[in-house]
């Protein structure tokens, strides 16, 4: 569960830290106080998108931190929003925001009142159905995914053929020719640069040899630089015999003589190493021309030419495989389509079963929330196979069996939508998450229906943590922990209320007067009623609802039997 939540500069909440605790946690406050921001903080911790509009007026950064405990392990998750960017942290280490979603997706659910919009979208209803599939249904869904992937691959292969066997043959021959030409070139990485250097030396061998020979003569032949330095060295040594201070100069001249002799020896060896081989020069010229031709066709460097050749070889193999299948691919597609249709029909049947069971569970909850004879159905009809299946799905609702069911957005009122969202989400399995948060789903609800909704939320919170942002005292009275968001100007803070403070908040919610003696009396009565209804209530799960429905059916049969 969520053990601790810290929020700083998120909207108008300056800085608040709460420890919600287990069970039902209610968050209340005046309209516009910023109470829904707490669930906004929970969404950020789940990895939802973070825009700069989340940043409040109390700094340049919004910060949210949550400490969670699941199955004996603890995790600290944080988000920081600055400008148009955000950073996510898991146990102090920076991580991608999507990792937070993966970590908390199955553990934390957030349900908003406006989710009635999603109940009108086919993709959303399909997700609800797929989440409610039994084991056989999940296996069928996996089989359909495999069949659809096979069909999609075959259709892509056929598109690659282009329907023109002659064009395919031309493309195949071109790819083979290009791959073969590069392969026959037997290129080596860096060969062009090395050949350029060697070829320049071979082309000008005569000139280089003549220049090196003349340089050697000037340095080391009789009368050359080395000979002149030796004569100079003898004269300086004679002078150094008379003046010891000249010895260092003599040493320097001697070193110069040795250096000149070494250079002359290397020049002589370099000149002798140059070969005058016209045949070798011709072979190098031919090789350079061949490399230049390949580079002109396939790349600016030898490396690019080699990469192009590898790609051409791969393309030739793929086109060759397609060419072999050109005559049989239509039969393969027809067979794959038949498999996809069959798997799609099986998946549609599994979804229809899941939809029927989901609607039965949701209808039971709707009746408990004040509907006398509601109608809820999920229609699953056939369509050609697609990425999501071979069916279309639609949810229809009416508040009474005498009314014609229709799309949620056109049929349900505000109060009906609140109860419908709660019932459908609980029936679809939201109750199996460890932390469930409801964001003002009680719009348009009041009186006895509000009490029933509060009782259902309290039952849902047995054995798990349920957070609810509400404006109804009937729901807040069922809470195990009650937090109030107070606002003064542009600053809001969150505080836990207990005892007389909680009575004052419930009185304010009931009558609008915080310190009304009559209102506090009504608040005490409401708390007592909620406490009585919370006793000995079983935990709500999708499985529990199925079991409870079966138990009620058995009880009815037994009652009828006794009556006869």
Measure the CA–CA gap between 258 and 252, rounded to whole angstroms: 10
Q: Which helix (H) or strand (E) holds 419?
A: helix 414-427
Measure the CA–CA gap between 545 and 543, rounded to whole angstroms: 5
Measure the CA–CA gap between 234 and 293, rounded to whole angstroms: 62
Q: What residue has token string 């002798």?
A: 272
Q: Tokens standing for 145?
A: 């995914």
93, 175, 290 from 185: Cα distances, Å: 52, 16, 8
Measure the CA–CA gap between 73 and 439, rounded to whole angstroms: 27
What's the domain count of the chain?
1
Measure the CA–CA gap between 350 and 141, rounded to whole angstroms: 9
What per-residue confidence (pLDDT) applies to 515?
67
Measure the CA–CA gap between 517 and 519, rounded to whole angstroms: 5
Residue 110 · residue 39 · CB < 8 Å: yes
Task: Using alpha carbons, select from 296, 290, 285 the residue that is nearest to residue 187.
Answer: 290
Measure the CA–CA gap between 427 and 460, rounded to whole angstroms: 11
Task: Name beta bridge partners: 7.
Answer: 16, 64
DSSP 3-state of 328? coil
What per-residue confidence (pLDDT) applies to 412?
62
Query: CB atoms < 10 A from the CB of 368, how many?
Result: 16
Angle, to 10 degrees, between the axis of helix 329-368 and the axis of helix 542-563? 60
- What are phi and psi for residue 486, nearest 5 degrees? -105, 140
CA atoms within 13 A on the CB side of 104: 29
Measure the CA–CA gap between 221 and 240, rounded to whole angstroms: 27
> Has residue 32 been placed in a domain?
no
Residue 455 · residue 150 · CB < 8 Å: no
> Has residue 213 been placed in a domain?
yes
The distance in angstroms from the start CA to the end CA of the chain is: 50
Residue 407 · residue 437 · CB < 8 Å: no
127, 371, 379, 382 from 355: Cα distances, Å: 11, 20, 8, 15
Measure the CA–CA gap between 301 and 119, rounded to whole angstroms: 59
Give the DSSP letter string of 155-203.
HHHHHHHTT-HHHHHHHHHHHHHHHHHHHHHT--TTHHHHHHHHHHHHH
> Has residue 53 been placed in a domain?
no
Residue 305 · residue 295 · CB < 8 Å: yes
> Has residue 234 been placed in a domain?
yes
Q: Which helix (H) or strand (E) holds 484?
A: strand 481-488
> Has residue 166 been placed in a domain?
no
What per-residue confidence (pLDDT) applies to 165?
67
Q: Nearest 5°: CA angle at 194, between 191 and 196? A: 105
> Has residue 279 been placed in a domain?
yes
Angle, to 10 degrees, between the axis of helix 247-273 and the axis of helix 225-242? 170
Residue 18 · residue 494 · CB < 8 Å: yes
> Has residue 554 been placed in a domain?
no
What per-residue confidence (pLDDT) applies to 549?
43
State the 10-residue block means of pLDDT for the chain, 564 residues long: 92 89 91 80 85 82 91 90 86 90 80 68 86 92 96 85 72 91 88 76 73 83 83 88 89 90 86 74 80 88 91 89 77 93 96 94 89 92 94 91 83 72 79 78 79 87 87 92 89 90 90 73 89 69 51 37 36
Domain that holds residue 270: 191-300
Q: What residue has token string 């699953």?
A: 380
What per-residue confidence (pLDDT) applies to 414?
62
> Has residue 433 been placed in a domain?
no
Residue 187 · residue 294 · CB < 8 Å: yes
What per-residue confidence (pLDDT) applies to 552?
40
- What are phi and psi for residue 426, nearest 5 degrees? -65, -45
E-strand spans in 312-410?
A: 375-386, 389-398, 406-407
């Amino acid at each position: 569960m969520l053990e601790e939540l810290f929020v700083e500069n998120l909207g108008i909440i300056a800085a608040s830290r709460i420890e919600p605790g287990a069970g039902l946690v209610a968050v209340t406050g005046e309209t516009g106080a910023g109470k829904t921001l707490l669930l906004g903080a929970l969404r950020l911790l789940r990895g939802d998108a973070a825009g700069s509009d989340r940043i409040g007026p109390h700094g340049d950064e919004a910060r949210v931190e949550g400490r969670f405990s699941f199955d004996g392990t603890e995790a600290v998750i944080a988000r920081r929003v600055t400008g148009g960017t955000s950073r996510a942290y898991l146990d102090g280490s920076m991580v991608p925001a999507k990792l937070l979603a993966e970590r908390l997706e199955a553990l934390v659910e957030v349900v908003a009142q406006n989710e009635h919009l999603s109940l009108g979208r086919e993709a959303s209803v399909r997700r609800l159905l797929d989440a409610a599939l039994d084991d056989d249904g999940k296996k069928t869904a996996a089989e359909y995914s495999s069949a659809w992937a096979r069909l999609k691959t075959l259709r892509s292969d056929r598109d690659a053929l282009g329907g023109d066997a002659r064009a395919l043959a031309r493309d195949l021959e071109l790819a083979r020719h290009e791959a073969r030409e590069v392969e026959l070139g037997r290129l080596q990485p860096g060969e062009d640069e090395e050949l350029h250097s060697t070829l320049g030396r071979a082309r000008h061998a005569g000139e280089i040899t003549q220049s090196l020979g003349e340089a050697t003569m000037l340095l080391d032949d009789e009368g050359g630089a080395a000979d002149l330095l030796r004569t100079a060295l003898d004269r300086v040594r004679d002078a150094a015999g008379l003046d010891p201070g000249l010895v260092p100069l003599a040493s320097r001249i001697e070193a110069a003589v040795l250096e000149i002799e070494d250079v002359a020896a290397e020049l002589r060896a370099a000149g002798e190493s140059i070969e005058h081989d016209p045949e070798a020069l011709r072979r190098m010229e031919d090789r350079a021309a061949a490399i230049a031709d390949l580079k002109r066709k396939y790349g600016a460097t030898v490396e690019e030419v080699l990469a192009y050749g590898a790609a051409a070889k791969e393309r030739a193999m793929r086109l060759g495989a397609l060419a072999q299948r050109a005559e049989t691919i239509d039969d393969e597609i027809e067979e794959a389509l038949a498999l996809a249709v069959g798997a799609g029909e099986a998946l549609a049947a599994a979804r229809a079963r899941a939809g029927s069971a989901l609607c039965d569970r949701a209808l039971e909850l709707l009746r408990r929330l004040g509907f006398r004879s509601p109608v809820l159905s999920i229609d699953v009809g056939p369509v050609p196979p697609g990425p999501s299946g071979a069916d279309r799905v639609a949810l229809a609702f009416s508040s009474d069996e005498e009314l014609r069911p229709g799309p949620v957005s056109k049929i349900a009122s505000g109060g009906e939508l609140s109860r419908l969202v709660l019932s459908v989400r609980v029936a679809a399995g939201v109750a199996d998450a460890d932390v469930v948060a409801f964001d003002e789903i009680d719009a348009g609800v009041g009186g006895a229906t509000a009490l029933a909704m509060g009782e259902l939320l309290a039952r849902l919170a047995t054995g798990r943590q349920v957070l609810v942002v509400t404006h109804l005292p009937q729901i807040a009275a069922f809470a195990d922990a009650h937090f109030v968001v107070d606002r003064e100007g542009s600053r809001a803070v969150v505080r836990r209320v207990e005892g007389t403070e909680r009575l004052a908040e419930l009185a304010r919610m009931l009558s609008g007067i915080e310190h009304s003696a009559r209102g506090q009396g009504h608040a005490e009565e409401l708390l007592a009623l909620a406490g009585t209804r919370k006793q000995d209530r079983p935990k709500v799960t999708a499985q529990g609802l199925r079991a409870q429905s079966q138990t009620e059916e058995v009880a009815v049969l037994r009652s009828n039997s006794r009556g006869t």
